[in-house]
Amino acid sequence: ESGIPTVPAVVGARLSVPLVTGERITYANLDHAASAPCLEQVRDAVDELLPWYASVHRGAGFASQVSTKVYEQARDTLRRFVGARKSDTVVFTRNTTDSLNLLAKSLPRRTSVVLFDTEHHAALLPWRGPNVRRIQTPESAAAAVPALEAALKLCPEGPRLVVVTGASNVTGELWPVAELAQVARRFGARIALDAAQLAPHRPVDIKALDVDYVVLSAHKLYAPYGAGALIGRADWLQAAEPYLVGGGATKSVVDWGDHLGVAWSAVPERHEAGSPNVVGVHALAAACDTITRHGWDRIVAHEQTLLTRLREGLRSIPGLHELAIFSDADRVGVVSFTIHGHEAGLIAAALSAEYGIGVRDGAFCAHVATRRLLDRVDATEQRALRASLGLGSTLEHVNRLIAALRELVTNGPKWTYVQQDGRWVP
Ligand code: PMP
């Protein structure tokens, strides 16, 4: 793999998986966009904390002090990782979906929300009411800017929020976030950046982009499940009712006889009721630190080298159409495609059973976007295949996928597959 920059190692890089023949093969995980494998440094950081974790904030014991320190240090790490302003708050959540739902619940009354219809369901669905405006999929990154302008012109007076993804989970394409933020500013709107797919692949800088909120998930950022963050302006979150009620979100509770008098904590604790995921946020922070220390240049170069090879290879497969929102966008290592005359689910099943390759098929929790993009390539079914790269990806994985697709398209699968509960099985 000479010529490809080395990057931090992931655990399970040499996992062996069974093929349908009974042989075993090294797993080629080409599904980083769904969940990325954990970094070795993250595993070590978790291992180190496991004997020590204890209740944060309230415990007087030494282990509690360690946990509290680790938990609060993780906030600082996340703050640095996304270039947050001093006044921004960092609320730990379960994942991006949780972060966006928290933000949606914290909007001032009558906030107008503007978003593109290409968003992941996590960003598309939490906003309710008559003041939600969806913008039709633009043809180019440049066209997204006037489209947002036109939508904001139609918003009534009052608070406004624009929600946009940094990188599409369907096509990997980068959205012109800084330009969209400038438009938002001109209309007095705030802007929330869904960085679930961007943060694992490119640096995110709140100040440079001039966005108000950033949300992300640990499990896409080379740390395990269960931790995420909402980072940004504190005022709306501070004025909102606590997202969940319970211990940790309260300063005091007094019995007034007919009711309980509750003084809620300030942010971030206000929205972190219940015992927090100390190990999860420590893992997330360790991933952020590892990436920062290694340096984005080599991480981006590694991925772009593999992505170029992947896209070139895919273009050589007969009948293959890559999905694209824009005609002109740079992208992270996520590629969705259809192959004319071949069912996505069957190809995905054969890639796993016969070649030990993991890809995704379906509409990727972005049904509106995926269907629209499938229409553009005259697809015969409502599903696509998606291959996505990351720190666990190698040139061998990419080459294996291209060779496997060529064989499957030319000769068909070697085994017979039947449908069971909507999935193809050999
Ligand atoms: N936004 C985007 C762009 C995503 O790719 C995803 C995950 N596929 C999400 C939001 C939701 O992330 P999570 O499932 O971790 O909440």
Q: What are phi and psi of 81, to 5 degrees?
A: -60, -35
Q: To which H or E segment does residue 337 belong?
A: strand 334-339
Would 1 be classed as within a structural domain?
no
Would 234 be classed as within a structural domain?
yes
288 given a catalytic annotation = no
Ligand 1 center from residue 254 Cα (angstroms): 40
- Answer yes or no: is pLDDT of 1 > 80: no
Q: Assess whether 112 and 250 both reside in one domain.
A: yes
Atom of ligand 1 nearest to the CA of 217: 15
Q: Assess whether 142 and 80 both reside in one domain.
A: yes
Q: Assess whether 174 and 142 both reside in one domain.
A: yes
pLDDT tens by residue, 304-331:
999 999 999 999 999 999 999 998 789 9
β-bridge mates for residue 114, sequence order: 133, 162
Q: Write the DSSP assignment of 94-129 as a string of letters.
A: SSHHHHHHHHHHTSPTT-EEEEETTS-HHHHSS--S
**Residue pointed to by tokens 């600082």:** 76
Quick check: CB of 196 below 6 Å from ligand 1? Answer: yes
Which residue in 137, 140, 148 sits closest to 326, CA to CA?
A: 140
Q: Assess whether 223 and 256 both reside in one domain.
A: yes
- Structure tokens, 3: 């010529």
Ligand 1 center from residue 97 Cα (angstroms): 6
Would 9 be classed as within a structural domain?
no
Q: Assess whether 253 and 380 both reside in one domain.
A: no
Q: What burial class does residue 274 get, using C-beta atoms within 10 Å of its C-beta: 0-12 exposed, 13-18 middle, 19+ buried? A: exposed
Q: What's the whole-number mean pLDDT along residues 359-366?
A: 93
Q: Assess whether 307 and 289 both reside in one domain.
A: no
pLDDT tens by residue, 246-298:
999 999 999 999 999 999 999 999 999 999 999 999 999 999 999 999 999 99
Q: Report which protein residue has its CA nearest ligand 1's atom 6.
A: 196
Would 255 be classed as within a structural domain?
yes
Average pLDDT, the chain: 96
CB atoms within 10 A of CB 109: 7
pLDDT over 70, % of the chain: 100
- Structure tokens, 328: 């002109």
Q: For position 362, which CATH number holds?
A: 3.90.1150.10
Quick check: CB of 99 below 6 Å from ligand 1? Answer: no
* Mutational test site, ligand 1, from 125, 164, 220, 222, max ligand atoms within 8 Å of CB: 220
Q: Assess whether 24 and 152 both reside in one domain.
A: no
Q: Which of 240, 262, 293 is the last residue of a domain?
A: 293
Q: Assess whether 104 and 253 both reside in one domain.
A: yes
Q: What's the whole-number mean pLDDT along residues 166-183?
A: 97
pTM given for the model: 0.97
Q: Assess whether 313 and 266 both reside in one domain.
A: no
Instruction: Print the domain residue range for 326.
Output: 16-30+295-425
Would 146 be classed as within a structural domain?
yes
- Answer yes or no: is pLDDT of 135 > 90: yes
CB atoms within 10 A of CB 331: 19
- In this structure, of 10-24, 50-64, 195-209, the range with the lowest mean pLDDT score is 50-64
Atom of ligand 1 nearest to the CA of 34: 8
Q: What's the whole-number mean pLDDT along residues 12-32?
A: 97
Which residue in 256, 233, 301, 299 sits closest to 91, CA to CA?
A: 233
Quick check: CB of 165 below 6 Å from ligand 1? Answer: yes
d(CA 151, CA 319): 37
What ipTM does this complex have? 0.99
Q: Which of 239, 270, 293 is the last residue of a domain?
A: 293
Residues near 46 by beta carbon (within 8 Å), at least 6 away in sequence: 224, 279, 282, 283, 286
Would 7 be classed as within a structural domain?
no
Quick check: CB of 194 below 6 Å from ligand 1? Answer: yes
Which residue in 6, 8, 5, 100 sits closest to 287, CA to CA?
A: 8
Quick check: CB of 29 below 6 Å from ligand 1? Answer: no
Q: How confident is the model at residue 18 (pLDDT cuts 50, 70, 90)?
A: very high
Q: Report which protein residue has its CA nearest ligand 1's atom 12.
A: 96
Q: For position 142, which CATH number holds?
A: 3.40.640.10
Would 6 be classed as within a structural domain?
no
- Structural domain count, the chain: 2
Q: Assess whether 101 and 156 both reside in one domain.
A: yes
Q: Assess whether 303 and 281 both reside in one domain.
A: no
* Active-site residue (options: 38, 155, 288, 365): 365
* Mutational test site, ligand 1, from 124, 204, 365, max ligand atoms within 8 Å of CB: 365
Would 2 be classed as within a structural domain?
no
Q: Which of 293, 316, 337 is the last residue of a domain?
A: 293
- Answer yes or no: is pLDDT of 2 > 80: no
- Answer yes or no: is pLDDT of 200 > 80: yes
Q: What are phi and psi of 408, to 5 degrees?
A: -65, -40
- Answer yes or no: is pLDDT of 60 > 90: no
Q: Assess whether 260 and 385 both reside in one domain.
A: no
pLDDT tens by residue, 235-251:
999 999 999 999 999 99
* Mutational test site, ligand 1, from 31, 32, 97, 171, max ligand atoms within 8 Å of CB: 97
